Amino acid sequence: MKFMGRTGVFVCVAWLLAGFSSAYSADNEKLKSSVKIQGSVEKSAISSQKKINKISDETERMLTEYKLILRQYDALHGYNNQVQKIVSGQQKELDSMDLQLTEIDTTNQGVIPLMSRMVETMKKFIDLDVPFLPKERSKRIEGLEELLDRADVTVSEKYRRIMEAYQIEMEYGRTIEAYTGDLTADGRSRSVDFLRIGRVALMYQTLDKKETAAWDPQMKSWQILTEEYRKPVSEGLKIAKKQSPPNLIKLPVSAPEKL
C-alpha cells in the first residue's frame, strides 16, 4: 500500500470539508426555511386567535345585550299590560261619567225649575208670614234668586243653599227671639225691641217701655196692648235675651182660625 502525499491528503480533506460545508449549507437553508414557515404559521395562529378572541368578545357582548333586551321586553310587556288595564278602567270611568252627565242633564231639566218654584214659594210664604226680621229674610230670598242665575255655581250647591234657607225658616217656628229693629208706623220710624215666640206671637215694646203692641195676623197690623201686658212682654224680652231664667208669662196669642 502506498501512502498519499501531504498534498493528496489536503485535497481529500478539503473535498470532505467542502462536502460537509455544502450539506451544512443546504441543511441550514432548510432550517431557516422551516423556521420562517414556523414563524409565519405562528403569526397566522396568533392573528387567528385574536380574531377568535374578538369574535368571542363580540359574541359575549351581543349575548349580554340580548339578555338585557329580553329583560327590558319582559318589563315593558308587563308595564304595557298594566297600562292597558288602567286605560280600560279609565275608559269605563269615562263611559260611566258620560252616562252620569247625561242623567244629570236630564235631572237638571226637572231640578232647576223645581228650585225656582221653591224659592218663589218661600218668598210668598214670607210675605204672608208674621213680619219678623223682614230685612234679613228678604235679603236671603234675594240671594237665592241671584244664586239661581249664576253659571259658576253647581246645581247641588244651589239646592243645598235653598234647603238651608228652608231649614232656617223651620227653626223660626220652634224658637223664641228678641232683637232690636226699626219700626215704621204712622209715617215715622223708631227703634223698638221685638219679641218673637215661634210663629205664634210677635210683639214689640218701645225702648222706654211706654208702648207695647202685638201683631194681629187677621188684621195684618199692629195692635196696641193694654198696660197689663207691659211687664209680661218686658219679662219675655229678658228671657229671650237669656237675661232671666225661663218662666211662665201671660202674652197675647191669636186664636187659631177655623178651617
Q: Chunk the chain into consecutive blocks of 10 residues (it has 259) and report each block's average pLDDT, rounded to whole numbers.
A: 50 54 64 74 79 85 85 78 80 76 66 91 94 95 94 91 95 94 84 94 94 92 93 94 89 65
pLDDT of residue 228: 93
pLDDT of residue 225: 94
Query: CB-based contacts of 159: which residues, under 8 Å, 6+ apart?
Result: 111, 115
Q: What are the grid coordinates assigned to 82, written together?
A: 298594566
**Distances in Å between the alpha carbon of 32 and those of 19, 29, 35, 129?**
20, 5, 5, 135
Q: What are the grid coordinates assigned to 68, written together?
A: 338585557
pLDDT of residue 62: 87
pLDDT of residue 2: 46
Give pTM, 2 decimals. 0.58
Query: CB-based contacts of 252: which residues, under 8 Å, 6+ apart?
Result: 201, 203, 214, 225, 229
pLDDT of residue 170: 93
Q: What are the grid coordinates assigned to 234, written together?
A: 218686658
